[in-house]
Structure 1
Amino acid sequence: MALAQEGTHCMLPPSIATPSPPVRLLRVTAAVLALMLAGAAAAALADSPLIEVDYRSTVSAADMIYRSPAAAPVEGQPIGNGRMGTLVWTTPDSVNFQINRCDVFAVNKNASGKRDGPTDYAGGVARVTINVGGPALDRGDGFLQRLSLYDAECSLSGNQVRVRCFVFAKSDILAIEIDDQRQTPQPIRAELAMWRPPDVRHGDHRAQYQWVRNGPMIGVVQQFTEKDHHCASAVALHIPTGAATYVEPDVEGGEKSRPIGNMLASRFSVSTLTKNRARIPMTISNLQNGTYELTTYHHDSLGGGIWDSITVNGVTVTNVATSTGDGPDRVGKAFFKFEVKQNTANVLFTKSAANGADGDSAVTGFALTRIAASEAKTPGRDGNQQQAATLLVDFQANGSSDGSSQLAVDEVGWEKWTNPNTSITFLPQTVRYQSVIGIAGKVDVTVGADLDQNIAPGIFPQWRNRAPITHVPEKRKRQLVLPAARGKRTVFVSSAASFAPDTDLPRQAFALLDNHTRQADAYDNLRARHVGWWSDFWSRTFVHLTSEDGVAQFMARLRTLHLYYMASSSRGALPAKWNGSLFSVNGDKRYWGAQYWIWTTAISHHPLYAADATELADPYFNMYVKQLPAARQAARQRWGVQHGAYFMEAGPFDGPVILPPVIAQEYQDVYLGRKTVQELSPAALALGQYECVLTQFADGHRFRGIAGRYSFVSHYVACGSDLAVQAWWRYRYSGDKSFLRTHAYPLLRDTLELYRGLARKEDDGKYHLYGLNQQEGFWGINDGVVDLGAIRGTAPLAIRAAEILGVDAELRDKWREFLKHLTPYPMGRDPGSQALGRGMMADDVWSVGHLGDVKRGGKPGATLAWPIFTFEDWTLETRDPRLDRIVRKIGELNDSRVAIANGSRQPGTHSTLVMGSRIGRGDDLPAMTASYYWGSNPLPNGFSEFEGKTAHSIEILGCIATTLQEGLIQSISPRPGQPEIINILPAWPRHWDATFRLLTRGGFLVTVSCRAGRLEFVEVESRWGEPCRLRNPWAQPCRLARSSPSAGDSGRLFDGDVLEFTTTQGHVYRLLPEDAAQPEPRRVAPRRVTEPTSYSFKLSNGNVVSATLGRP
């Protein structure tokens, strides 16, 4: 292929620390273009592609390969259609699913129960298990589980048994195919199950389900009712062959159970957290004699602890480092064997402050596994092989009300710790538990009286509620059983949900199965239509990256994986919950509950616009636009602002609670500082127990609320402006004027009006803001940088949107006046910034704000990013020397950036990475993305649990995808509301090759190739026919031509900083360096991956970070 001439290098933006020369804007008139393109209209991109993309191989480079079974259900592989989803995980004899939906909520905003309480859950509708009989899917050389992202299909193979499954893209059906080629095939048991009793009541709340049948089909219908809330779901299961036998398990024996997933056969939990030093003696008696294995482990997101010594029955090991995992099958670094000869294990753990980085053991424990003489596994009650009999012991901190700390015990272990205020059951001298390793199934546990008294209570970690549900009682499930036969069998599962009480959901679910599974080849017929939808989705854009160390390829995989997750979870009536999404595995348990956070939800949506997947953001915007009436009422009730809308950073799917007038006045008095939370009436406290923001005042926070009224999200209002700016992006990427009218403009108008109502014009002639939070870290700030950025970022957009729609002329004038007289950003040198202290980096850059009611805060770097991203009051196109210097220095001093670059785990500081791309720090990108992903402790499927166990999320993937795309291309305005200018490779590492096609604002689909540090070409396809403005990516003249030039047409030469030209809808324009030969077409077709993919990256300080996608 003919490459671009020497010297035509990929150009990073000029240093923003120095003044930029005046922009030379070269305009090409329509007449000139008509001459330039004379002879024929510009060809469509497909007519003469410089880049031929094999989308299947490009997407398949991110396939998820498991060479061993998922160690826990949360490691399963995701399949979904945007409304209905599940992870897919295996046990030796089964394939397991938990069916989740985006539109199922146990309560609404008027719930009587507490946030994080027993009714605060959503999503889960049923569990499905396909038991193939025998250990056909056990770990071994033949095991393989692969998620094909291109086909959105999961396939498994084991000992002569293969399974395929997908969730149909166009209807809510899970299709499963089992191919049994064993010489002695086994019956197939398709089981539908629930995890809670059939009728559960908590005050006014009631959760019920019942079993239903329709001919050969079985189903379960659940409904939730409380006050004005009704939500129901139905799940149906069908085996079309007609040979299946219905089985209703015998319930006479009560609540029988068996493990599911790679779980433990029995468990209990002993809890403590060591502070400085510890001595923990324990006696486990009534054990069966034999050989045991002890494995220490550590099952949270931190780095683990180190025990000075562990002694069991005279066998001692020293300096034992714990390793991460939620059971012995996830670890194995520190284990040893010992003998039990007198039915007793005497265990002693010791630790000193000198051994371990922080003096804490954090959340650690050990597993005690009995190894039979033959090393054989223990047979289950159905004759199938189960894992070795194991007793799991967890350590965690629990403090009593008087400030002391004791060893506490709870039979259900982690399931109890759903809230740090949960009452504690203290361990008596001896407690007896059922356990398969005990004599007659009993084990006695005694904590020694000489327990070190220096054990101190610790702060509860966020990763409570860890253990997946390990069993389903018999009476909570139904089965369809197929007789043993070789060959392929199919199982189909459907679901439906509604908030309307009179909806016949069983009928809907059964009808889906009846209509789609009649043909003998129903699986393949559905699959063809399913793959067709996904093929169209993947063909919109692509990103292909390469680097010698493989980090670029890995990050491109993460971008692809993120888009897969979003297309699998964000096409329903409501957005998927960020914590668990459609892929929860713990029944009703979901740490952080059923309410939405704008910030954590938005992170996953940021990459969608440039990826030409704007419709995947519609559930997100639709939910908040439906909240507008309640948000307007909340502005009046809580802030006393008559015009505008108050969107809460965290709240229920149906918006803020509408309060009775008297109670509304109480809360307004608290919001505005006229009353403390201690003065709220019992009636006001009762109405503030569920909605997340009201709980900041009404629950236990009131006893530690600084200045009597502030907490993490209590006074944070910029989140509504953040939402409005994103809606503007969606309009500018899609060109959907109807969306501008119904969504973007109402959000812009109402959030700006809230600020106009909150601001006060003071004697200096400037508008000021008082007592508002700057994200969660800085409370009660005056003239905060986030709020001022929100106003400067939304006011010009609201004015421009109103002009386009021809509405609200009076308001436009008021907004212009508001913007003109808005106070400047706070600077570090300001006395108010100096008084706040921790909200500043330097005297000559912005600060978080001025000290208000609360002197509280931490690291300001990520907070100072908001005027840059998402409010875009400064961009690479602003080119103001004073502002350029401020922004560059903030980026350099940002402590989060420094920490990540040096290998510190900093999950949750997403804006730091994106800001790096937005300010042109391309050379940082490899280290920052490599360290950030590693630092989130990612699971094999890309999920991260840094927000807490049962709150696995794709926030990290969204952050990395956005960072990559913003490094590749930006379409940004010099000032908000002005025409955008396309920047090619504005923040890209010179040693990373990139070929990509991404969408920009204005509806331009841009294709770029940069190899070996040389930018070869740029192609621009115009979707709407808008004028195109593109910053010259070469430091030399360049030539603009149509993509398929006619004979003798060499295009037109331009030499300017910014090229502006008119376009015609559907035409393609090619930009090349002057005198460069026309590039030869080439093909992008990465090799198919067959193993898990990994990277390892050495940071500048010598630390090495690494991660793996998949399971070896």
Structure 2
Amino acid sequence: MGSLVWTSSNQLHLQINRVDVYANNCRTNSFVEVHDDYCGGCAFLDIEFEGNPFPESGFRQHLSVYDGTLTIDGAGVSIRIVLCMEQDAFAIVIDGNQASEQRVSATLRMLRYETKFFGRQTEALTEEHAMRVPHRSQIATSQLIEDNNRIALTQEFSEGDFCAKSAVAVAFQATSADAEILNDTGIRLSAAQAGSVTILVVSAATMDPDENPVSAAFRQLDAVSAQSVAELERQSQEWWHDFWAQGAIDLHSEDGTAEFIQQNYHYFLYLMAAASRGKFPPKFNGMLWNTGGDLRMWGAQHWFTNLSCYYAALPATGRFELMEPAFEMYSGMFDACEQAARQQWGSSGIYIPETSYFDGLEQLPDELASEMKELYLLRKPWEQRSDTFMDFAQRKHPYSSRWNWIAVGDWKDGKYVIRERGSGPYGPTSHMFSSTAKIAWLYWQRYEYTLDSEWLRERAYPVLRGAVEFYRNYPNLRKEEDGRYHMHSSNSGEPVFGVRDSFEDMVAMRSVTAAVLRAAEILNTDQQMRQTWREFLDHLAPLPTSTDTDALHPQDYHGPRIFVNGLKPAVKADRTPTGWMPDINSLPIWFFDLCNIETQDREAFALAQSTFDQLLRNGLDPKTPVGTLSMLAVAAASLGRADAVEILLPNQMRQQPDPRSLWYKKSGLLENRMTLGEGAQALHAEHLGRAAEALHRSLLQSNPPAPGEDPVLHLFPAWPRRWNARYTLRARGGFTVTATMRDGEIEHAELESHTGAVCRLRNPFPDDDVRLYRNSSPAEQLRGALLKFETSQGERILVRRLGTSRGVAPATN
């Protein structure tokens, strides 16, 4: 659970949100308009005081991310909000004037009226298909409860066989309180205050129709009430201090830019620690911080491109527990994605769409699925789609990848009529297959950082295998006269539809196939399939470039050879041919380890450098903007471009207002370092996640020369030499690295081996030999650009420049 906290003159306001509260699932027929589906919100909570303790300005508010405590000092009242990290609970501690008694009240308010009902269930569309298709039949019911000095607000969402429930409960700790129903949407609990009083707020949720979340919430209240405020604060601080002890960074520059980066980076980790410990990942558009009830621009579905902003940066932090919600969600929809690969595409393996409900894609009626497959694979002309197919689509959300050819709709004579994008079955995410591979790659990275073979076997390998088998069996992938496998009729990112050999897919296939081959070798499994996968990998079509005969690129482009997004017959939404360089929001060649400072294919590396330069054709200066989702800073770090990192990294965190933006305050940053750049109530920190990934790659890279090969550690590969830095980060191969750079020189380099793997390290002192110190004892001497040495599990290894005092570990502080 989570909330923003804000004030009016005499009230403290919260909206309690949870990651596991959804109003519908993938089988919904009730949300046909964009942005009208909702999730997360549980209750409004208002804490009211006598007088006006919170004037418009002039009082102090401070969030300590180190202690996990919010402090607000108003006129005559001081408030501490403590996060109870082992319970879904907040403790709101209010200190007032000991000499005078005043009333303090806590009001729970519904996010909507008591019952919200979407339409009725209709009869079968046709006798032939005998389908019962409910239309706008979702019901949301809320209830106010008073029980023995406690109040609660419940929600229940139902549609067909889907059920979800939540409860928020409030009580004063060790204080007698009075409850009253205010109106049909609110209930208040009030008590007299002299000195200090504590309000406890808890929440619970379930998708089991037989479970009662109120009982669960009241049990939590009892558990938290049994502990003193001092004990709750001690537990919270211990949790947070342990969290920060896992690793952090310390940056300095004369102009303060490095300190700005450091502050934003730690705030991003705080947000993830607060929001990513539940059953599902927080939604990109609002996370746990919505304040306006159910309104949430972009609705309740997950976009992986957006979700990746939060999770791609986490492996290097070593906080793998924060990644679990994303893995739980995608593994939880595995069966549905396996079914979708067969039904929608006539393929094998798994198909995870770019946009998806938390439980994946719904099972379709067989005949409708058969028609969809023929239409989407371009075997059946779009103009021949049946009335049954269109009637079914009429009830589906246009942001779902499966139905993304729908643009918007209009209400005509009481009926919602959809409008199409005009590109047949294509929409921005309809034929986007690389998301499946990118999700599988995240699983693979989790293994590479930990070398957890059980994780690889049980969690990562099924997803990797499923991604490769989907591509390999996709009906529009064919081995052609040139002896190469060519991919037809897919999207290349969102802008380009119907691409042959899309850049996104060709990169994805290379990478996940290499990864599944390595994984199968590690697990000693799929002996026969390895030959099939190897043949597939070795005969993939080359990556498209601007010098290919059929390549498409901007008409005004006359620069050096670069990678491009796709080949003919790419079309835009208006069906006109087009071509683009790689999408700066994905830049997949860097996403999948195909091109980085360790890449042995120097031609590809040169092409990547040229592509990067062309993406910055307007030059690089202190005002160069970096979009929320942009991977430009990540690409700069991957290519060792410290000059670009110095500008792009802080600029991505700054998120300068865009005068063209339609969103709040032209998408500029809010005081809490987040932004509403995704639209109304879509508060987010995507820019901080992307920048955190770039920061990690600037400080430490552990890339293999090619996907699936052994990683090579490289310290400060793209770090601006004018900035000092010290960090503790995780690296692939099962290592934690602590390193320091001061005045452009590496002073300290130490590794901790978690698994006893062989270490491959680019010599941090390339002009000198080095000596290793194993668990503080002098050991072997090494020389050369690449240092390779054995390690033991739990061993700490100091890498010291030979013959100088530099490289000595600094004093512990």
Q: Which amino acid aligns with 1:848?
A: N
Q: Say which SS state the counterpart of residue 671 (structure 2) adopts.
A: coil
**Within 5 Å, which residues of 2 pair with 1:1017-1056?**
1017-1042=748-773, 1045-1046=776-777, 1049=778, 1051-1056=779-784
Instruction: Choose which of 552, 561, 566 in structure 2 pairs with 1:849.
Output: 566
Q: Which amino acid aligns with 1:731?
A: Y
Q: Is the 8 A contact 1:846 1:864 kept in 2?
A: no
Q: Is the 8 A contact 2:175 2:191 kept in 1?
A: no
1:749-780 C-alpha deviation (Å, 9 max, x unpaired): 11111111122001111100011111101111
Instruction: Choose which of 153, 157, 160 in structure 1 pairs with 2:76.
Output: 160
Q: Which amino acid aligns with 2:65?
A: L
Is 1:784 the counterpart of 2:498? The answer is no
Instruction: Choose which of 50, 61, 68 in structure 2 pairs with 1:133.
Output: 50
Q: Which amino acid aligns with 1:872?
A: D
1:693-752 C-alpha deviation (Å, 9 max, x unpaired): 233234548855344221110110001100111111111112222221122111111111
Instruction: Choose which of 625, 642, 646 in structure 2 pairs with 1:922.
Output: 642
Instruction: Choose which of 569, 575, 588 in structure 1 pairs with 2:294.
Output: 588
Displacement, 1:972? 0.5
Instruction: Choose which of 201, 217, 225 in structure 2 pairs with 1:517.
Output: 225
**Within 5 Å, which residues of 2 pair with 1:161-310?**
161-181=77-97, 184-203=100-119, 204-249=137-182
Is 1:749 the counterpart of 2:465? The answer is yes
Displacement, 1:161? 0.7
Structure 1 residues 1072, 118: CA separation in 2 closer, same or farther (over 3 Å shift)? closer
**Within 5 Å, which residues of 2 pair with 1:436-455?**
none
Displacement, 1:229? 0.8
Tell me the TM-score normalised to structure 2 length: 0.91
Is 1:486 the counterpart of 2:194? The answer is yes
**Within 5 Å, which residues of 2 pair with 1:339-378?**
none
Structure 1 residues 560, 215: CA separation in 2 closer, same or farther (over 3 Å shift)? same
Q: Which amino acid aligns with 1:111?
A: T
**Which position in structure 1 is the counterpart of 2:21?**
104
Is 1:502 the counterpart of 2:207? The answer is no
1:580-618 C-alpha deviation (Å, 9 max, x unpaired): 011111111100000000110011111111111112111
**Which position in structure 2 is the counterpart of 1:531?**
237
Q: Is the 8 A contact 1:220 1:236 kept in 2?
A: yes
Q: Say which SS state the counterpart of residue 532 (structure 1) adopts.
A: helix
Q: Which amino acid aligns with 1:208?
A: T
Instruction: Choose which of 1044, 1050, 1067 in structure 1 pairs with 2:795.
Output: 1067
Q: Which has the larger radius of gyration?
A: 1
**Which position in structure 2 is the counterpart of 1:47?**
none
**Within 5 Å, which residues of 2 pair with 1:784-933?**
784-834=502-552, 837=554, 842=559, 844-854=561-571, 855-857=576-578, 859-862=580-583, 866-895=587-616, 898=618, 901=621, 903=623, 905-933=625-653
**Within 5 Å, which residues of 2 pair with 1:683-694?**
683-688=388-393, 689-690=396-397, 692-694=400-402
Q: Say which SS state the counterpart of residue 989 (structure 1) adopts.
A: coil
Q: Say which SS state the counterpart of residue 887 (structure 1) adopts.
A: helix
Q: Is the 8 A contact 2:53 2:77 kept in 1?
A: yes
Displacement, 1:518? 2.8
Q: Which amino acid aligns with 1:916?
A: A
Displacement, 1:166? 2.6
Deviates more, 1:647-656 or 1:131-140: 131-140
1:72-93 C-alpha deviation (Å, 9 max, x unpaired): xxxxxxxxxxxx1111111111
Q: Is the 8 A contact 1:670 1:676 kept in 2?
A: yes
Q: 2 CA distance for matches of 1:686 and 1:586?
A: 33
Q: Which amino acid aligns with 2:232?
A: L
**Which position in structure 2 is the counterpart of 1:1000?**
731
1:426-458 C-alpha deviation (Å, 9 max, x unpaired): xxxxxxxxxxxxxxxxxxxxxxxxxxxxxxxxx
Q: Is the 8 A contact 2:628 2:655 kept in 1?
A: no
Structure 1 residues 109, 1078: CA separation in 2 closer, same or farther (over 3 Å shift)? same
**Which position in structure 2 is the counterpart of 1:550?**
256
Deviates more, 1:1076-1085 or 1:821-830: 1076-1085
Displacement, 1:842? 4.3
Q: Say which SS state the counterpart of residue 568 (structure 2) adopts.
A: coil
**Which position in structure 1 is the counterpart of 2:130?**
none
Q: Say which SS state the counterpart of residue 824 (structure 1) adopts.
A: coil
**Which position in structure 2 is the counterpart of 1:987?**
718
Displacement, 1:906? 4.3
1:638-659 C-alpha deviation (Å, 9 max, x unpaired): 1111x11111000111101211
1:261-314 C-alpha deviation (Å, 9 max, x unpaired): xxxxxxxxxxxxxxxxxxxxxxxxxxxxxxxxxxxxxxxxxxxxxxxxxxxxxx
State the structure with bigger RCO (CA 8 A, min sep 6), 1 or 2.
1
Q: 1 CA distance for matches of 2:809 and 2:570?
A: 63
Q: Is the 8 A contact 1:116 1:591 kept in 2?
A: no
Displacement, 1:177? 0.5
Q: 2 CA distance for matches of 1:185 and 1:103?
A: 40
Unmatched runs of 5 consecutive residues or more in structure 1: 1-83, 250-473, 1086-1112
Structure 1 residues 718, 553: CA separation in 2 closer, same or farther (over 3 Å shift)? same
Structure 1 residues 208, 506: CA separation in 2 closer, same or farther (over 3 Å shift)? same
Structure 1 residues 997, 820: CA separation in 2 closer, same or farther (over 3 Å shift)? same
Q: 1 CA distance for matches of 2:796 and 2:355?
A: 44
Displacement, 1:515? 2.0
Is 1:645 the counterpart of 2:363? The answer is no
1:1028-1054 C-alpha deviation (Å, 9 max, x unpaired): 1001122312322225645xx4x4332
Q: 2 CA distance for matches of 1:554 and 1:747?
A: 38
Structure 1 residues 694, 838: CA separation in 2 closer, same or farther (over 3 Å shift)? farther
Q: Is the 8 A contact 1:848 1:863 kept in 2?
A: no
**Which position in structure 1 is the counterpart of 2:126?**
none
**Which position in structure 2 is the counterpart of 1:656?**
361
Displacement, 1:818? 0.3
Q: Say which SS state the counterpart of residue 41 (structure 2) adopts.
A: strand
Q: Which amino acid aligns with 2:603?
A: R
Q: Which amino acid aligns with 2:194?
A: R
- The alignment yields a C-alpha RMSD, in angstroms, of 2.1
Q: Is the 8 A contact 2:10 2:49 kept in 1?
A: yes
Q: Is the 8 A contact 2:302 2:355 kept in 1?
A: yes
Displacement, 1:213? 2.6
Q: Which amino acid aligns with 2:74?
A: G
Displacement, 1:905? 4.2
**Within 5 Å, which residues of 2 pair with 1:312-351?**
none
Q: Is the 8 A contact 2:34 2:298 kept in 1?
A: no
Is 1:760 the counterpart of 2:478? The answer is yes
Q: 1 CA distance for matches of 2:785 and 2:56?
A: 60
Q: 1 CA distance for matches of 2:557 and 2:432?
A: 19
**What is the identity percentage for the equivalent residue pairs of Structure 1 and Structure 2?**
32
Q: Is the 8 A contact 1:191 1:479 kept in 2?
A: yes
Q: Is the 8 A contact 1:546 1:553 kept in 2?
A: yes
Displacement, 1:183? 5.8
Q: Is the 8 A contact 2:66 2:244 kept in 1?
A: yes
**Which position in structure 2 is the counterpart of 1:288?**
none
Q: Is the 8 A contact 1:780 1:853 kept in 2?
A: yes
Q: 2 CA distance for matches of 1:829 and 1:237?
A: 66
Is 1:966 the counterpart of 2:697? The answer is yes
Is 1:93 the counterpart of 2:10? The answer is yes
Q: Is the 8 A contact 1:778 1:856 kept in 2?
A: no
Q: Which amino acid aligns with 2:274?
A: S
Q: Which amino acid aligns with 2:40?
A: G
Displacement, 1:182? 7.3
Q: Which amino acid aligns with 2:161?
A: D
